[in-house]
Structure 1
Amino acid sequence: MSIVIGAEEMAHYLDEVFPQVRGMFRIDEISETRVVMRLVADERHLRPGGTVSGPAMFSLADVAAYVATMSRIGKQALAVTTHCSIDFMRKPVSGVDLLAEARILKLGRSLSVTDVLLYSDGTSAPVAHASLTYSIPPAR
């Protein structure tokens, strides 16, 4: 799968179509084999106990799958999540960003299936695993 949109252009596109999350995520890498994204964790992402919340982790996984898909098919603002399954495996480290490593498993004309592992920055054991499917709008 070749890359159609690089990291810088994708970051501008996300700011354009999802201004409500501007500054929340950063794209660390877009390559032929994976996308690495970062949740810039701050107070709004924490749950009682000081750890990153499940909804914040879900958001990171979802945006990483979206970016992985868009980087291969081009700008399709109306692509939508049709399925997500997420397993929370361990508590994220407090006070550090979360990283998502997304890999597209299948990219077809109408669906994209992506595997996403989430890590606390600086650790090797994943804190969550997600599988997401995106519906790709038909070409007009």
Structure 2
Amino acid sequence: MDASAPADLTPVMSVEEVNAYLAEVYPQLNEDHTEYRAIAVRPGGCTVRLTAGERHLRPGNTVSGPALFTLADIGGYVCALSHIGREALAVTTNLNINFMRKAEAGNIDGECRILKLGRTLMVFEAAIIAGPDGALVAHATGTYSLPPRGQNVG
């Protein structure tokens, strides 16, 4: 993803704040693990990571599509939260993903970028990269519906 995010987007939550908030309002994401987490927040984007292990593999030692889809979706959620604040009721309204190559167990990163942040919708993209060469294993685009500000839960 060589194009940059809109220049006027400034995060309102740090990576630590986002991870703590996710644990508070969405504990079922990781249960007793920390496999899905934000590792960076930046103006107009974020990086999320899946530490894929045995429970994420399908036959052929390939990380499953649902695990990669979840990573892309969490990337959109982290983009939204980090830029609008503690608004747990931001929800996915659309997510499209294209799988390009096999991802094996290990760290898989979602490099996410906000394409548009409006009053009621946020559009983003996620490049899912894995392996020692940082290969693009999937690409996703999605839209989040944003709640009226101040209607947060948790």
Q: Same fold (TM over 0.5)?
A: yes
Deviates most, 94-103 or 126-135: 94-103
Deviations 1:78-113 (A, max 9, x none): 110000110001111x23221100000000000000
Q: Decide which structure has greater strand share.
A: 2
- State the shift of 1:121 in Å: 4.2
CA drift at 1:114: 0.5
How far off is 1:24 after superposition?
2.0
**Corresponding residue of 1:74:** 85
Provide structure 1 residue ranges, at least 5 long, that are not aligned to the other structure: none
Matches for 1:1-140 after TM superposition, within 5 Å? 1-22=9-30, 23-92=34-103, 94-139=104-149
Runs of 4+ in 1 over 2 A off after TM superposition: 121-125
Structure 1: how far apart are the matches of 2:131 and 2:49? 9
Q: What is the CA deviation profile of residues 40-82 of structure 1, one whole-angstrom value per residue up to 9, with x for unaligned ones?
A: 1111111111110000000000001100111110011111000
State how far apart, in whole Å, the 2-side matches of 1:53 and 1:117 are: 16
RMSD: 1.2
- Whole-angstrom CA distance in 1 between matches of 2:48 and 2:66: 16
What SS class does the counterpart of residue 27 from structure 1 fall into?
A: strand
Shift in CA distance, 139/35, structure 1 to aligned 2, threshold 3 Å: closer
**Between Structure 1 and Structure 2, how many residues are aligned?**
139
Identical positions, percent: 47
Using the size of structure 2 for normalisation, the TM-score is 0.86
| Counterpart secondary structure, 2:106 | coil
